[in-house]
Structure 1
Amino acid sequence: MRRIHDKMLRGQTRMGWLDSFHSFSFGSFSDPARMGLGPLRVVNEDFIIPGAGFAPHDHADMDILTYVLSGRIAHEDSLGHRAELGPDELQMMTAGSGITHAEMNPSETEGTHLYQIWIMPDAGGGAPAYQQLALDPDLGRGALAVIASGRQEAPVRLNSGTDLYRARLVAGDAVPLAVAPGRHGFAQILSGIAEVEGERLSAGDALEFRDTAPMELVWQTAGEMLFFDLPR
């Protein structure tokens, strides 16, 4: 099975300070065909105006990752962490048995563009935790490179049998995509244009697949992607 998640069919939340696009059902957006994929529950692309953000709120039993494309985001949580996150950094908050946090754009002049990702852990409860790591800008140049995982050595440790990869490509690069039987693949295009088996994907689109022969994502322009290798 292979299907493209058209960016124009994503849900959208628009407020005075936030424009958010939802690859899966989220908030008031409900689509039976977009209810998550294995433990992957949320892939939101957020645009936050200067000086605004998410006021303190609670989470439990979720791994929440933040990946900034431009601008910065300031994080505070009930564990006492206070940090700023920018491009080439990865943040993961393990909500565990419960955590309160806030995420704000600290700039008064520059907007923030980020992806927020929610992945269900293999087991609920446990102690909440926070990780933030600077990634080498060359990590994923021309090929998939793991940035978070619960199955293999990776910069950030997940609490599920999920592997998350990043790739940064130029025109002409071909990225092979495959997952083992019994697993899902999900490729989220962050920027640029690529083609797979004659179909075009651009920023905001995603590719979901399982039980398929290996395929290649061939890049028509420079771009960036995240790839999830997920248990069912």
Structure 2
Amino acid sequence: MRNLTPEEVNERSGGLLEETFQSMADAEGEENPEDRLALVRSNVASYLRAGQIRGIIVLDAAPDDLIREFSYLNEHSDLDLRLLVVERYRLGRHEYFYHSRFLVSGEAEPEIKRQRLRLRLIVEKFSKMKPPIFSTHATKESVRVYREGWPAAVHYEFGDWKDSISIEIRVRHREYPKVADFLPRLREHLATAIPETQRVELATDPSGWTRLQFFFGEEIDPYRIAQSMVRLCRTEKDISTLLREGNG
């Protein structure tokens, strides 16, 4: 594209570039639209010559192959390619909530870019299945899943162990002992509801967290792991009851 002039780009886009120029020049509050139009054209020509170009694809869902290709190009070239999904949730008969997020971005959080592509794919599939009351937050080694209305000291989480992926419930046991004491019973209940696991562990670490973890090998399809996290998140009703009782 750096070898093209704005006129050539406009021709290839069927006149859409010029329409965009005109729209920007005629924006509300612009006192001299002709001067503004000349400036916009000049800026675009400069960006083209310098190769300062950003490519964005917006979809309602992204296939795995496209995510892999965009991730590879972003991480192994100087291109700025972005993959954006826009999801729609029904709130009422004629009311919808729209949520947009970048799956791949040149300005992605460093934590997200450090994650293995396998973990990113699993989280993306989970994001398509999860109810709106859940949100995800990436850290360097994991992706936390927060339930609306819960304290951060009680949450779900995806973990990457390089040779396996885990899904888990994490609780700070000193703050919420009732929830922590509930996890052994939950382990028995979920033994058959969450299949294909390598192993299931219930552990308490020195930092104060009690975890119920389900591990999946590299051969398990990302969709199946995301589906298992959805099943794990269904325990939120029981945990919410414990939290409402006070001191969790």
So what's the TM-score if we normalise by structure 2? 0.26
The structure with more strand, counted as a fraction of residues: 1
| Higher-RCO chain (CA-CA 8 Å, sequence separation at least 6) | 1
Higher helix share: 2
TM-score under structure 1 length normalisation: 0.27
